[in-house]
Amino acid sequence: MNRRNKDDHRSDDPSSSSSASNSSRSYLNRDKPSHKNPNRIIPDSTMATQGWRGRRPDAAESDVPLNRANSQRFRLQGQHDDDDEERGGCGSDPRFIVGTCPFMCPEKERLQRERLRDLAVFERLDGDPARTSSDLAVKKFCRTISMKDIEASDVRPLPVLDRTLNYLLDLFDSSDHPFVTVHDFIFDRTRSIRQDLSMQNIIGDQAISLYEKMVKFHVISHHKLRKCATKGPPTSPMHHLNMEQLIKSLASLYNLYDINRKLDCDCENEAEFRSLYIFLHLGSQGHNHIMGESLSFWLSRLPPSVIRSKEMLFARTILRLYHVGNFWRFFYCISKEATYLQFCMIETCINEVRAEALACINHGGYKLHPYPLKLLCEILKMKESDLEYFCGLCGLETSVDEMGNRVLSLKQTSFSHPKGGLNTYDYSGLEQLMREMKI
Amino acid sequence: MWPSWVHKTQREPHTRAIPVWFSDLYRSRSPTQTMAYVSMGEAHRRITDYLNRFSDAISAQNAAVLRRLLAVTSDSHLLLSLADSLNVVQDTSRLVKQNEKWSQYGEMLVPLLRALQCYRIGQLVDSYSAFEKFANAFIQEFRNWETAWALEALYVIAYEIRVLAERADRELALSKKTTEKLKGAGSFLMTFFGKRPKACWSFVYHLELFKIYFKLGTVHLCRSVIRSIETARIFDFEEFPSRDKVTYMYYTGRLEVFNENFPAADQKLSYALSHCNPDHEANLRMILKYLIPVKLSLGILPQGSMLDIYNLVEYRDIVRALRRGDLRLLRCALQENEDRFLRSGVYLVLEKLELQVYRRLIKKIHVIQKHKDPSKAHQIKLEVIVKAMNWLEIEMDIDEVECIVAMLIYKNLVKGYFAHKSKVLVLSKQDPFPKLNGKPVSS
């Protein structure tokens, strides 16, 4: 079976870079695995057409035990583009596979990759690039050519996927390897998990829990990759790809929430995960239309219980403060209410807001009353040394007043928005946010 | 800005927005009667009468008569009494096949009668499915006719498809099933007009599609509809009847609101407003519902009387807050009507009016100070603004006020500077509150 992936080179170590500081707890595993059975849709014999191209393979041709029970109406969406590519031309197969593979990696693939020495660092037994074991190998993501080639033994059922994800996320905090390596591995393997979930059209509580964990992975990676950017090789392609998959996973997760709502299940984390979507619209790089839809429109379709939740109100407040330009309260609210996940998403535009703040103060202030940096630090949540450096990037000079305090002189004409927005500065009080993350 | 007739005195409000070209059809609505007892003989008579009318209308190419026979939801006396008869006779398909004059249209008549019958007894889902079958058959026939004489009948069919689908979905929702009929109606119309559209009636289908997509929430699908209208060479916008142009501008204007392109939204919705028939108050209200937030964000306030005439109460407090510089009132008004604003997609637009409220507040303080002591009026202590906020029960400390002031100056809503050490806002002596000039405020 041809499982070659064009990203083969990823399994080698990238050039060495110092490991980023990792927070030591495995917050990604904070949810206990659900003990409820996954909810599958009761058989509905009508196959609603969804306008998929491609023809269905005849029952006689394929030897895969197909599950006719799942109605196509309740389908994991949001990965349509991916699905079409991943499934190849036969996009319209509404009969979903039931996976039987008991390992994190199907046996066939494991043996093949061993032979070809296509093993990631984490998969190598005793560091040997040609040996692995069923405890270490994890199924790789691969764009499938056609659904006909997929066998049930290649697809992992839900309990195995759950186990696999937990194993992967335990690696997230590993400090033995540079973060980009860790991220890359988990990025690829979780994508494969999502592929397996989608192929089997698994919906229900456990699926939601898996998706939530994967979204968390992408969000926190989003934050950590920014930090890596200043130290190692430029990682913006990786950053961009991560964002892409973040959005896709969010879309699938929201779809699951919608489906589960119809089944009258309440998802306790829904509010927080919905709020992340709002933050995607912040900043000049913020996507104005995600998946072809404006934010106003997306909001208009949310159920009232979600819209009025604490997390969503916070997100909407931040969006308003951003657009109105009230930077004082913007930082104040973040420090007061943001969860760590929310902070990671907002972080993208924080430097932009800081620059705007400097622009406002520089523009409107009285020349003879320079602005004390200490106060600015409190407002913008930065260390004084970072703030000075940042002012420099904005073309602004700082000086010392007669009392020995550092101040920002005003009405400088040299202001400009800093280019290269990948720098991160410590956010004062971030430790507080992280401490409050529920374990 | 606002057309002059908008401010005329109050008229009796219409109860619903009815498309113009159906006014004759749908005004003759009888109150819904309970099923009347009809004898078998009388029932037969009424049905054969209807079948004759139908066949004659087609042979005579009389669209005006024909369209009355198809307007299922019009609740006309004719159709209601026909439906009662259908429920008595039951086996109408046999009846249709009896006579060659009618059986030649059997493919259309049988589902049409079924649709009417089901509609009468409140089975909307079945009614819709039957009507869709009828529409399909009708369209096949339409293609075979030499001229497009039955255009008006097609208008009615498009309308009925949408309305029946909406009601069918309501029925489905009540029994907790998936509401798929409106979506089906959308696909039906889409596939239908997708093939070589004939002259200008397909424009009507575009409009019905808009309505469906908005109702369904699949607004992004409108883009393909717009593209096909704009690229099709057969369409010359100016040639269309005014009512269609208004509808088109209304929907595209709403799309611009969703996408926050306010100058474009202003242009389109204003067009719709000025070309809309002044008698159609319900339509005017719908246009104003979206135009007002757009105008507000451009700094243009409607007169209070307009809000009263068109019953747009939800905006009353917001306009008041803008005039008074009352931040608390703005926030309350937003919260009170939160659901409504969120659903119509204008909430995010209205939120940003906060900037104008700040500006107005400072302006008011300036005016008050001018009365007290004109020479020092242009200096506003930040403390005073803090006090004003506290009086409005809004917590704001002096650092935040300073930052807001800095931001207002930067965005050119206020001209002047602030002195940090003395905690004072010094307004420019000339034109301290520049006009917004029709540009959106938050840029």
Enumerate the H helices of B325-435 as residue ranges: 327-336, 338-344, 347-351, 354-372, 382-391, 398-410
Strands (E), A262-358: 289-290, 293-294
CA distance A241 to A245: 6
CA angle A200, A206, A208 (to 5 degrees): 90
Q: Is the pLDDT of residue A362 over 60?
A: yes
Residues 6 or more apart in contact with residue A122 via CB below 8 angstroms: A136, A138, A171, A177, A185
Q: Is the pLDDT of residue B26 over 70?
A: no
Instruction: Name the residue type at position B94.
Output: R
What pLDDT sits at residue A64?
A: 34
CA-wise closest residue to A165 among A192, A184, A204: A192
Q: Identify all chain B residues contacting A295, using CB atoms and an 8 Å cutoff.
A: 348
> Residue B346's closest chain A neighbor by CA?
A296
CA-wise closest residue to B269 among B181, B344, B354: B344
What pLDDT sits at residue A150?
A: 81
Name which of A80-89, B100-109, B337-346 the model is least confident about: A80-89
Higher pLDDT, A61 or A111: A111
Strands (E), A275-333: 289-290, 293-294
Residue B407 CA, distance from chain mean position: 37
> Residue A380's closest chain B neighbor by CA?
B403
Phi, psi of B216 (to 5 degrees): -75, -25
CA distance A387 to B433: 33
- pLDDT tier, B368 (very low <50, low <70, confident <90, very high otherwise): very high
CA distance B388 to B405: 14
Burial A41-60 (b: 16+ CB within 10 A, else e): beeeeeeeeeebeeebbeee
CA dihedral for B295, B300, B304, B309, sign (positive or negative): negative
- What are B84-141's pLDDT values in tens digits? 888 888 788 888 888 888 888 989 999 999 999 999 988 999 999 999 999 989 988 8
Q: Do B352 and A323 touch (CB under 8 A)?
A: yes
- Give which of A281, A319, A356, A366 to mutate to test B binding, by max B Cβ within 10 Å: A366
Average pLDDT of every residue of chain A: 75
Q: Is the pLDDT of residue A428 over 90?
A: no
- pLDDT tier, A159 (very low <50, low <70, confident <90, very high otherwise): very high
> Is any Cβ of chain B less than 8 angstroms from the Cβ of A90?
no
- What are B190-208's pLDDT values in tens digits? 776 555 445 555 667 777 8
CA distance B284 to B273: 7
Give the minimum alpha-carbon distance from B355 to chain A in angstroms, rounded to a whole number. Answer: 6
Q: What is the CA radius of gyration of chain A?
A: 24
- What are B405-436's pLDDT values in tens digits? 999 999 999 999 999 999 999 999 888 998 87
CA distance A278 to A254: 13
CA distance B322 to B315: 11
Asked if residue A136 lies in contact with residue A79, where contact means CB atoms within 8 angstroms, the answer is: no
The partner residue sitting opposite A365, judged by closest CB among B260, B348, B418, is: B418
CA angle A189, A195, A199 (to 5 degrees): 150
Q: What is the ipTM of this complex?
A: 0.74
Q: Do B403 and A327 touch (CB under 8 A)?
A: yes
Placement of tokens 């319209």 in the chain: A92
- What are B256-309's pLDDT values in tens digits? 888 778 889 999 999 999 988 888 888 899 999 999 999 998 888 988 788 888
Q: Identify all chain A residues contacting B259, using CB atoms and an 8 Å cutoff.
A: 288-289, 294
> Is any Cβ of chain A less than 8 angstroms from the Cβ of B379?
no
- What is the SS3 assignment for B441? coil
CA distance B248 to B229: 10
Sheet holding A406-408, edge to edge: A371-372, A406-408, A398-400
Instruction: Name the residue type at position B170.
Output: R
> Residue B350's closest chain A neighbor by CA?
A320
Q: What is the mean pLDDT of residues B55-71?
A: 90
CA-wise closest residue to B330 among B349, B354, B305: B354
Give me A235's structure tokens.
Answer: 């990682």
- What are A167-225's pLDDT values in tens digits? 999 999 888 888 889 999 999 999 999 999 988 888 888 899 999 999 999 999 988 88
> Is any Cβ of chain A less than 8 angstroms from the Cβ of B426?
yes
Rounded to the nearest 5 percent, the helix, strand and coil shares of chain A are 50, 5, 45
What pLDDT sits at residue A142?
A: 87
Sheet holding B416-419, edge to edge: B379-381, B424-427, B416-419
Rounded alpha-carbon distances, angstroms, from residue B155 to B149, B159, B189, B382: 12, 6, 12, 63
CA distance A193 to A188: 9
Average pLDDT of every residue of chain B: 83
Give me A106's structure tokens.
Answer: 């199907």
Q: Do B259 and A361 touch (CB under 8 A)?
A: no
